[in-house]
Amino acid sequence: MFKRLKKDAPESGANSMDRVFGLYRFQVGEHEIIVINDGFIGVLLPFLAANAPEKDLLALMQKHGLGTEFARLPVGIVLIRTGDRLVLVDTGAGTSDFAADLFGDYIGGLLPTLELTGVAPEAITDVIFSHSHADHLGGTSADGQLAFPNAQHYLPQLEWDDLHREDIPQVAAPFYEFARNQLQPLVASEGQLAFYGDEDELAPGIRAIATLGHSAGHHALIIESGDEQLLLPFDVLGHPVLHLRHPGWFMSPGIPDVAVATRQRLLARAADEKIPILAHHFPFPGLGHVTRFGDAYRYLPTS
């Protein structure tokens, strides 16, 4: 599924600041948005477009000057400063052995980048998970200790239910176990884990939208202030070319029919209502607009 991105050799004198990959700030009304690049992961193309004819997939990638083996995708993390709250959206891949074995060496930029901005982990008031995949909650805890010890954490109820079902496929079991282990300190700390669903407001001006299919409980977020909006689609849109030019190409694993219907619905809303998007895996910082392009769509970066 993943291509491990490895450095040729360790950097001399390397420290945590060597993991700072990018930082971008902007405003949505009264909300300050800080996009942090947690690093880069490599995803093999057949997993990004499981139902795509191979020749069509390769032709599209070649046309856009992109790699034909795997896609190198940023992992964007959003920090929202709103009133007296610091809201972190997802916790990235983290630096565990599991994450390093899965993704390689170019991950784990969240904490050193927060340090660079002067934000201590203890200052984070809220953590919102879009879903429970390893590149979205891998930085939640380490060695049984919470990375953001004072924060209230929010997970989709459907995602929690899926993590604890009995019929988990064997191939997926290590990923489910990793997610449960990351969340265990929250379970042990009474009151720090809450569950949410469609249309719930998780903080002032931050509202959830059920976008099921990529996972059983995947949710997007809408950030609103005054007449300004920003849509965070997360893994509904995993690639800026594949999933816009061919919205019917689905990622694996997932629930294909549901994932495709969700993507079609979200793309149409973003394009027709002209809502800017901030896409987790698009070229950093992932800020732009979706427009209709024939019977498909295209992504126009605005930064």
pLDDT for 115-173, tens place per residue? 999 999 999 999 999 999 999 999 999 999 999 999 999 999 999 999 999 999 999 99
Query: Where are the alpha helices (H) located in 83-172, listed in sequence order?
Result: 97-103, 110-117, 134-137, 157-163
Predicted pLDDT at 14: 61
Of 185, 205, 204, 183, residue with least CA distance to 195: 183
Per-residue pLDDT at 8: 73
pLDDT of 86 > 80? The answer is yes
Count: domains in the chain? 1
Compute the residue count for the chain: 303
What the block records as the tokens of 253 is: 């694993």
In which domain, by residue range, is 288 found?
2-301
Stretch 297-301: mean pLDDT, rounded?
98
87: domain CATH number is: 3.60.15.10
Task: Write down the pTM of the prediction.
Answer: 0.96
- Find out whether 166 and 181 touch, Cβ atoms under 8 Å: no
Mode of pairing for the β-strands spanning 296-301 and 2-3: unpaired
pLDDT of residue 11: 55
Residue 238, pLDDT > 90, answer yes
Contacts 24+ apart (CB under 8 A), 8-16: 16/111, 16/112, 16/115
> pLDDT-based confidence at 7, cuts 50/70/90?
confident
